[in-house]
Structure 1
């Protein structure tokens, strides 16, 4: 009987080898670099703006309330602001910070903030504000004020 068991074990040896090769192949394929876990960190966003007055007079300051609404949450996302005034003249600032210079990029410390626009002209005024994030997503907002002088 011992000869029977020896031949029985030897008969299954190719099956064990085949099974080991199959398991190794599956393990190697599942560890492929193409199947790496992807962590999404680039989330588009929208900017909500509270209503602002239509008219502004020379020297008057208008408050512009904004909120950045993310489509996802990645804690290391940074937001930036820049603006360009193409009609009239005025000053745009973040809270009590120094006035923004046109086309310069400034960091936004929070996702809910207020800008203050002070008119320095007696004609209608228009300017664009761009909010961007550290991944290249950008939103353009246009503001227009009629002169009330």
Structure 2
């Protein structure tokens, strides 16, 4: 009978060692040490736009945000500032953006529409930002045409 229990204990020894290693590895994991990347820089691709615009005309600006990785909770925002001439910038058929206000973007591929309200050259900048602090600045300049 003693032999049976001795064999039984020896047979369980590798399982106890395995269990101890498993518990040690799980408890030694510190969640502060886990690195899950969710902050991905991005590029913004812009299709070519005309160089000239007449007062009252509209230019379509096609943009695509291309992140270097994929994280489903990344949110993108847009803001703009006009520093030359006068015009309005809007997302599809939504109301025009107000300068320096931050607006959420609904998609990574979208179109903006710039309407000229000026007979002189017009210049403005667009910033695309994400919720991790990454940003890209785009500059646009249109010469006046009649």
How many aligned residue pairs are there?
132
Distance of 1:112 and 1:29 partners within structure 2: 42
Gaps of 5+ in 1: 1-19
Summarize deviations over 1:19-70 as a string: whole Å, max 9, x none.
Answer: x8xx77x936981427732111000000000000000000000000000001
Name the CA shift for 1:56/1:77 in 2 (closer, same or farther; >3 Å).
Answer: same
CA RMSD of aligned residues (A): 2.4
Question: 1:116: Cα distance to partner?
Answer: 0.1
Which 4+ runs in 1 deviate beyond 3 A?
Answer: none
What is the TM-score with the length of structure 2 in the denominator?
Answer: 0.81
Gaps of 5+ in 2: 1-16
Summarize deviations over 1:88-108 as a string: whole Å, max 9, x none.
Answer: 000100000000000000000
The aligned residue for residue 109 of structure 2 is: 112
Distance of 1:99 and 1:92 partners within structure 2: 5
Larger Rg: 1
Matched, 1:85 2:63: no
Name the CA shift for 1:40/1:84 in 2 (closer, same or farther; >3 Å).
Answer: same
